[in-house]
Structure 1
Amino acid sequence: VASSLSWKTFDLVVKVSKCIDFSNFVRLEDDVVVVWCRNTHKDQVVYKNVHYVVTVTDEIKNKLEKTENDTHLSVVLIGVDSVSRLNMIRSLPYTYNYLQQNDWIEFKGYNKIGDNTFPNIMGILTGMNVS
């Protein structure tokens, strides 16, 4: 699944590519993939989900080379209950601007899968729901 590069048309232009069967690994070319796992004996779908792919691009490699020192990469996940992305932009403008100015990755198009932080963070980390 490939979407428009512009955030203004992010959900308007979606291109779905041909399905690729694989058993060990596959090189991912797009930011979002739909994964279907089938039982080969019965040809039944046993798992289906959408995953966001974070790829280390040349731009990211260049940023890392510029900041090469004793600092190591770190990952911070922020999970906020009951606040949509647009509501965060409206109600937490300083926080949102800080995240934007520091090149944090924003999951545009991500929807909640549960009623509190835990199921939503687990969805991001594992691609599965709590049940």
Structure 2
Amino acid sequence: MVNKKQKEAVRKKPGERSEGEWYRIVVRPKKQFKTFRYHDIGEKGGDVMRLAGRRSSGSWDTQVWLINKKSAHIQDEELIPDTEDAKKVIEVLGSVPTHVKGDIFEAKDRPDVPERQKPTQSQQSAYMHNIRLAQKTRKKAA
């Protein structure tokens, strides 16, 4: 049985009140996943974390990026990175994070390139660069 006070007392979601230590950049809806796991990015106990979700099919994907408030700040409704790790995460996203409310931002994840369009131009140039480096190393050793 639910009384009147229980109906009124709705739990606030993480990040809605701006009281936490992390900014949340939501990349995919929570409804797509059934279990979740946190991953430290960079050094252990660092300033960037990834919340990965597991779908019912068994595949894993990023649901939320968490950036410590020491590593970024909000200026004019934009999330501005203060450290290199935070800057890398924001650059990798497929769109600029937009402020929703509190500490919560929304962004698109990096674009997924279909297999038929691979290798991309950047993948080809990286491949050729690595081959040239290996050839130079062999010439020096010989």
TM-score normalized by structure 1?
Answer: 0.29
Task: Judging by fraction of residues, say which structure has more strand.
Answer: 2
Which is higher, the Rg of structure 1 or of structure 2? 2
